[in-house]
Structure 1
Amino acid sequence: MRYLLPVSATEKLPPPAPGADPRPVPGQNPRLQWGLSLAVVVVGAATIRPMGFTGQGLAVTALFVLNSAALLARGLPEHRVSPRATLIWLTLGVVAAAALTGVSAGGTGYLFAYFLAGHIGYRLDTRPALVLAATCSLLCAAVLYFHLGPGDPELPWVQGLTTGVPVVVGILNRSQRRAVRSALSAAESAERAARAEARTAVLTERARIARDVHDVLAHSLAGINMQLELADALLDTGDLKKVREATGTAHGLVKESLKQAQWTVHALREDALPLLESLTAMVESAGHQDALTVTGTVREVPARVTQNLLRIAQEALTNAARHAPGGPVAVELAFTAGSVTLRIRNGAATRAVTPGGGSGMGLIGMRERVALLDGRVGAGPVTEGQDRGGWQVEAVIPG
């Protein structure tokens, strides 16, 4: 059974912003990142010495503020900071962290270098991240080895070399982030494709229902209208016998219309109809006795094939009655190993043709039906034989 979605459900999702993706990645907690940054700042404020407003204390205080600002900037969304600004900010942060390590006489100033190095790996591509992390290690090791400032006597210069190691963790986190975002993008693309497919299914279903409504209303009402117009014209002649014949035919068409409405309901519900029995009843109800010929081995065909062949036959028979009244009609249903062929041929009209009455959608509907089944249909005038001057419709459905 088909499912229908409202067309509004097929609206496209907004595309991601250029550059960094502003959407949150599952598994990341911004609050935790802010909490760690604040913890490093608080621990640094409590342990880094000396701090003051003169001399060495002023320098330590200024560098501590710069390091705190650089560290807290980790919480800024990536899409709000350009790659160039990120590189400048992290470079200045590394220099400030190395300077703080050399100027301070004690405390946990080295933690700023470790956390900034980890964030370098997360924010920058691999090559610039490794270069900047190596720079951080060399600077921190240099200020401790060469005693470029008071420095923390408990920190060996080898520890300064390790300040760039957390860059590896940052690179791994960045790779994981990109993998997750790629998976999310792929899922969204698949969802958009599914919605587009559902929208196509909706439009296809609407076209199918439109064809079925056309087949029932346009054909049946056109035939009834012709008979009623004939009866109205005969009233002026006073020939009540022919009037009764016309109205009787109209009544028959009404009954046939009810039967066709039932066929349409079955088709919309996708109920299975017996092809041969239904086609036989349709041909006989159109007034053509013994007009159906069956060749090949009769077999069951899919419900869609049956429904569309019956609609094509209905269209062809109605057109024959409208455009070639009184002309002979021959219907052939041929079964082969790989296809089912329906061929309907009518001869030239033997009675006056009532102008108008057609919708012009019949042949279009036939082609649409056959195209849905990967078949082919042909329609055109008969130019030779006893039916010369008539019309033939042939539909070939694989299966």
Structure 2
Amino acid sequence: MQWVLTAAVIVIGALTIRPMGLSGQGLAVALLYVVNSVALLARGLPVHRIPRRLALVWLTVGIVAAAALIGTSRSGTGYLFAFFLAGHLGYRLDTRSAVTLAGLCSLLCGGVLYFHLGPGHHSLPPVVGFVTGIPVLAGIVNRSQREAVQSAIEAAEAGERAARAEATSAVLAERGRIARDVHDVLAHSLAGINMQLELADALLDTGDLERVREANAKAHGLVKESLKQAQWTVHALREDALPLRESLASMLESSGHRDALTVTGTVREVPVQVTQGLLRIAQEALTNAARYAPGGQVRVELEFAAASTTLRVRNRPATRPVSAGTGSGMGLIGMRERVALLNGTVTAGPVTEGPDQGGWLVEAVIPG
């Protein structure tokens, strides 16, 4: 629409503004018409392409040329250049500069007609010149709307960037959760299976088939346990709701610790994230107990308090030789990460007194 109006003003001016020629007053009018046309066509340039100072100079020259065209031409629509340029002042410049130049436009155009500076005053009353600056108000309104739209676009883009950052953070958090689950299932289970298979391989050279069968049976048991753990991992990734007490009891039974669970407080349903976090902590503690304290009694306490849920896993010292080997170091880190995501606390360390002295205690407290 802007280009259509600009073209219309230029075409109508070419058809109506007189005199136009190649000499004398006609040449002056023609040159002023060209300057006004160029100044008006420059309205279509993007705001960010022209520096503010250059725009100020260009529009000032255009206004002076528009006033001069009104004075030098005997007839026609030369005054339209002044109106359209004044309107563009408010759109292109800040309010103070725009109003100042609009006032200058009104004074120049009105002065030319009022003081009869040129033949143009015969066809136009002075009031036409004095009101040429009024369209600046429309330009200011358009600029305000443009800035409001730009601010809305920038706010939307900022919101989109924030949403992308949040989504990226959620993806990274989910990757961390999956990494912890994979560690819980694979690192411990495969390490135990590998240990039993290495033992069976070493016993083959001794010809002790009974112990070979025993190691092989333990490896099979670990495979079955790994399958159960894999199922727990799938449930965790799918966020299926599992009953905490029943799942914990099943885990202890499958690990060979019957009647090791003690539950205190009023049993209640807890969020699935709390269930999965406590199950993984219990799994880690039981795996470490089997690795570093084989044969030692294990006791698990699940306490439901009014403001928290607490899990304690205690194991007594080993009663059988401990196989050589070291862990990955990720177990305790994984516990802390899980509990931190739930705004809880976890402690792990040796038991220094009581019937479990010399053993190990893991305690996780989840608020809520």
Do these two structures clear the TM 0.5 threshold for a shared fold by scoring above it? yes
8 Å CA contact 2:236–2:276 kept in 1: the answer is: yes
Q: Tell me which residue corresponds to 1:55.
A: 24
Q: Tell me which residue corresponds to 2:2.
A: 33
| Post-superposition offset of 1:357 | 4.9
Q: Tell me which residue corresponds to 1:94.
A: 63
How many angstroms apart in 2 are the aligned matches of 1:277 and 1:121? Answer: 74
Q: Tell me which residue corresponds to 2:246.
A: 277
How many angstroms apart in 2 are the aligned matches of 1:156 and 1:46? Answer: 21
Of residues 216-225 and 89-98 in structure 1, the stretch that sits farther from structure 2 once superposed is: 216-225
| Post-superposition offset of 1:237 | 4.4
Secondary structure of 2:365's aligned partner? strand
| Post-superposition offset of 1:352 | 1.6
Of residues 285-294 and 39-48 in structure 1, the stretch that sits farther from structure 2 once superposed is: 285-294
How many angstroms apart in 1 are the aligned matches of 2:208 and 2:256? Answer: 23
Runs of 5+ unmatched residues, structure 2: none
How many angstroms apart in 1 are the aligned matches of 2:110 and 2:8? Answer: 25
Q: Tell me which residue corresponds to 2:328.
A: 359
Secondary structure of 1:280's aligned partner? helix
Post-superposition CA distance 1:112-135 (Å, at most 9, x none): 000000001110000110000000
| Post-superposition offset of 1:242 | 3.3
Matched, 1:43 2:19: no
| Post-superposition offset of 1:269 | 1.4
Post-superposition CA distance 1:230-284 (Å, at most 9, x none): 3334444444333333322222221111111111111111111121111111112
Q: In structure 2, what residue type is equivalent to 1:183? A: A
Q: In structure 2, what residue type is equivalent to 1:189? A: A
Q: 1:370-381 residue pairs with structure 2 within 5 A?
A: 370-381=339-350
Q: Tell me which residue corresponds to 2:353.
A: 384
Task: State which of 191, 194, 200 in structure 1 corresponds to 2:160.
Answer: 191
Q: In structure 1, what residue type is equivalent to 2:2? A: Q
Matched, 1:286 2:258: no
8 Å CA contact 1:106–1:152 kept in 2: the answer is: no
Secondary structure of 1:163's aligned partner? coil
Q: Tell me which residue corresponds to 1:21.
A: none
Q: In structure 2, what residue type is equivalent to 1:371? A: A
How many angstroms apart in 2 are the aligned matches of 1:152 and 1:35? Answer: 29
| Post-superposition offset of 1:288 | 1.7
Matched, 1:212 2:181: yes
Of residues 80-89 and 374-383 in structure 1, the stretch that sits farther from structure 2 once superposed is: 374-383
| Post-superposition offset of 1:361 | 0.6
8 Å CA contact 1:346–1:392 kept in 2: the answer is: yes
Q: Tell me which residue corresponds to 1:4.
A: none
Post-superposition CA distance 1:280-325 (Å, at most 9, x none): 1111222222211111111111111111111110000000110111
Task: Tell me how large the CA RMSD over aligned residues is.
Answer: 1.3
Misfit runs of 4+, over 6 Å = none
Q: 1:149-298 residue pairs with structure 2 within 5 A?
A: 149-298=118-267
Matched, 1:109 2:78: yes
Post-superposition CA distance 1:144-186 (Å, at most 9, x none): 1111112241211111110000000000000000000100110
TM-score of the aligned structures, taking structure 1 as reference length: 0.89
Q: Tell me which residue corresponds to 1:324.
A: 293
Runs of 5+ unmatched residues, structure 1: 1-31
Secondary structure of 1:151's aligned partner? helix
Q: Tell me which residue corresponds to 1:127.
A: 96
Q: In structure 2, what residue type is equivalent to 1:34? A: W
8 Å CA contact 1:325–1:350 kept in 2: the answer is: yes
Q: In structure 1, what residue type is equivalent to 2:350? A: P
Secondary structure of 1:378's aligned partner? strand
How many angstroms apart in 2 are the aligned matches of 1:170 and 1:239? Answer: 98
Secondary structure of 2:313's aligned partner? strand
Q: In structure 2, what residue type is equivalent to 1:39? A: A
8 Å CA contact 1:222–1:357 kept in 2: the answer is: no
**Aligned residue pairs: how many?**
368
8 Å CA contact 1:102–1:149 kept in 2: the answer is: yes
Greater share of residues in helix: 2
8 Å CA contact 2:112–2:121 kept in 1: the answer is: no
Q: In structure 2, what residue type is equivalent to 1:217? A: L
